[in-house]
């Protein structure tokens, strides 16, 4: 089992990762009857995409001498369609703090775009990525 999700009431769930016992809460968003006091399930989908992509880049730099991406960030925007309610677009802006040269940057961007989350999303969901590199 990967996780256990418990409905705790008032459109909130408690999600526990079995291996680590880490808990996170979700709330329905304010535009869908919720309080918006935590990630919504669709927020988690969009955030998982960015987390997966930056994690894959982190795995790749382990193979590269002297290259680091520590301190890099990803800013996520999720766009919803009202009827039927679903994610239509995810925009991720990566602010990559790295000493990587141009060739290495290209490799890391390509690796990021092979992330399992992105490859698992419906092809109707537009995925837009921007990579800003700085030292």
C-alpha to C-alpha distance for 125 and 135, rounded to whole angstroms = 32
C-alpha to C-alpha distance for 93 and 91, rounded to whole angstroms = 7
C-alpha to C-alpha distance for 75 and 52, rounded to whole angstroms = 13
Query: 40-134: what fold?
Result: GMP Synthetase; Chain A, domain 3 (3.30.300)
Cα angle 62, 67, 71 (rounded to 5 degrees) comes to 90
| Domain regions of the chain by residue span | 1-39, 40-134
pLDDT digits (tens), the chain, 135 positions? 999 999 999 999 999 999 999 999 999 999 999 999 999 999 999 999 999 999 999 999 999 999 999 999 999 999 999 999 999 999 999 999 999 999 999 999 999 999 999 999 999 999 999 999 999
C-alpha to C-alpha distance for 45 and 50, rounded to whole angstroms = 9
Q: What three-state secondary structure class fits 121?
A: coil
């Amino acid at each position: 089992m990967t996780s256990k999700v418990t409905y705790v009431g008032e459109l909130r769930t408690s999600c526990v990762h079995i291996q680590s016992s880490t808990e996170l809460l979700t709330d329905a968003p304010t535009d869908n009857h919720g309080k918006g006091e935590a990630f919504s399930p669709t927020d988690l989908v969009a955030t998982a995409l960015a987390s997966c992509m930056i994690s894959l880049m982190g795995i790749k730099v382990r193979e590269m001498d002297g290259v680091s991406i520590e301190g890099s960030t990803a800013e996520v925007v999720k766009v919803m369609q009202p009827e039927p309610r679903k994610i239509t677009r995810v925009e991720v802006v990566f602010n990559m703090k790295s000493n990587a040269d141009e060739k290495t940057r290209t490799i890391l961007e390509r690796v990021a775009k092979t992330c399992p989350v992105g490859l698992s999303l419906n092809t109707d969901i537009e995925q837009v990525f921007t990579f800003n590199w700085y030292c």
